[in-house]
Amino acid sequence: MNQTFSLVVTNDPGVLLRVSSVFARRGYNISSLHLNEQEMKEVSQMKITAACTESEAILLVRQLNKLIDVRQVEKL
């Protein structure tokens, strides 16, 4: 089942790599990724879709929250 995550991250180089590596380390394939800059230039919003179960999605949210560059994570 596909799960969608919404993230607010700092707009710094390497953030996309760090976020995507959380998925890769756990063996999840990102099927969709959308990234756009917000009105405040220091933050960006990501929407990521990946195939995982509900319990796996909760674990991914916890791991993403541990990243320094991630300001907010929400499972949609």
The per-residue pLDDT for 37 is 84
Instruction: Give me the sheet containing 70-75, strands edge to edge.
Output: 30-37, 43-51, 2-10, 70-75
pLDDT, tens digit, 9 for 90 and up, residues 54-73: 999 999 999 999 999 999 99
The per-residue pLDDT for 39 is 80
Q: What is the residue range of 66's domain?
A: 2-75
Nearest to 43 by CA among 69, 10, 76, 7: 10
Q: What CATH number has the domain bearing residue 7? A: 3.30.70.260
The per-residue pLDDT for 38 is 80
The per-residue pLDDT for 18 is 94
- Rounded to the nearest 10°, the torsion over CA 1, 8, 65, 28 is 30
Number of domains in the chain: 1
C-beta of residue 64 within 8 angstroms of C-beta of residue 7: yes
pLDDT, tens digit, 9 for 90 and up, residues 12-64: 999 999 999 999 999 999 999 999 988 878 899 999 999 999 999 999 999 99
